[in-house]
Structure 1
Amino acid sequence: MNILLAVSLLVAVTGSAAASSEMRDSGNLLQISAVSVSVKQQGQALPPVLGHRGQAMNAAQLEGANRLKHIPVVKTPRKTREQVIADKQINVDTRSGLRSSAARLNAAIYYEFAIYDASTRLFEDIDYDGFYRTFSVTFDADVHSSNLNQYADVYAMLYLSRNGGPWELYHTTEIFTIFDDVSNDDFEVLTTLHSGYPTDHYDVLIDLYEVGYSDIVATISSDDLDELYGLPLESADRDFYADEGTEVIVGGAISMFAMLFLWVFAIIRRVVSTPSQ
């Protein structure tokens, strides 16, 4: 009878812990937090990409990583790519200053945009589990025209997709200027994920916008380049390291579950080892 009671208690505790964990993950689905900065490489070539493995930072990236530490972390609602596109269309309809692609054609603007190349790099994996909290995305945006020295003011919106899920916005860059198809104007964004990103593989998508217009002028994603596919990432709240012998509380529900499991196990062992009367 005591054994049945102990087993029932163990099942109940397991269910409660699982429910608490599920609630925690569901909460993470509602909000995310990440901080990003642009990294100025001053026209210097980046080191060769070594696949999805951690790499040492160069001087510019180290300076960017230091700036990341001083940016306040603010949780924001998740927003999908479809929601972003719809919001921009609403802004056009309400005459907020954004113009549509049709307005560009009506103004006899015939230059075109392209994202020539993109790559990713992984940097910080505190717990050495192969999943990184800090990474960078580098891309080369060009503007093509029959005019010599054509330039355009643009910005980019960067998205992550968890294991084939919906594209979700994690960063909007500042405005920057691109010139023709020069090869030394790569734009790099260094990002640290803080919360809301479970341990998994993530794809990257980049949408390019011309300032003042609502439509996407160029895009590139993991569908186009392997370098943007399957990045092993996790947010900082899941990426921590504890020295041996140091007590770490992972979470209230999980810690309580572990303690109760040991207690129930001890009861079962005592009952089984007690001779029958």
Structure 2
Amino acid sequence: MNSEHPPTTRKATNWCGTQITLDRNEADQAPFDDNMAAVPEGKQSYPCVTQDGVMPTIGVPPEASGGSKWSGGSGLMVGNKELIPRWAKPANLLYYVVKDGFSDDDFQYTAKSFQEAADEWNTLAFGVNISATTDRAKANFLVKYYDPKDPKVGTLARAFFPNRVGDVLVYRKTLVESYWRNVLKNSLLHEIGHIIGLRHEFANDPDPKIAGQNIESLAHLFGTVNPHSVMSYDDVNYINDLDKKDVKAFYELPNRTTINGVPITDYMPKPLEQK
């Protein structure tokens, strides 16, 4: 944890609406050797809104590029039980901010905040660069305003993972409540973490509400303990030093590397005009 970013209280457990999924788009998958086994097909969602459902994940250790012995811990969380999605390097992801629904001020503020958050990730130079485009058809994903119409909804934003590209949604709550508006860029740092393939820091935690959950259904735990990762539910999210180290190590691993028998699968960005 960087000393200039002290730990903060945790957000409500439903603030980030991103879901893990096994859906695959064959057109988005990077080529790999014919003698490598394909990832099993399937469609099964693991909502991360309230930690409902089985949410197995894989963690990458700090020594990811060397050694055969993995150490335990809740470090960088990526993937699920059958698939670890990631972008094929070099990936240049383009996004387009849709004006519909935003006020003029909110539109400008959201666009500025998203690019500031993207720039922080871009400075890591780990193989993925994210930038805005004025040509919607050439964008790989959209950033949109979303009003759920229910004041009890506590979600602030929603993103996606590399194997199933969707829209980034900025919820009304995060723009109308001054506290969340002031830290929009920080919340978007977290959402972009999902876009590059990261799961929640707590995605391997047992959930006592799930009947019959057992150790086999939980995550494989690897890496450096990082309770205040950018992927945590701290009120204000920052990319800390351990995040930087683990993300770089994760993206240095070759495509189709298996971690505990689960393959990393690289995906090629696809423009909206081809979807």
| TM-score, with structure 2 as normaliser | 0.23
Q: Which has the higher contact order (CA 8 A, sep 6+)?
A: 2
- Structure number with bigger Rg: 1
Which structure shows the bigger proportion of residues in strand conformation?
Answer: 1
Which structure shows the bigger proportion of residues in helix conformation?
Answer: 1
| TM-score, with structure 1 as normaliser | 0.23
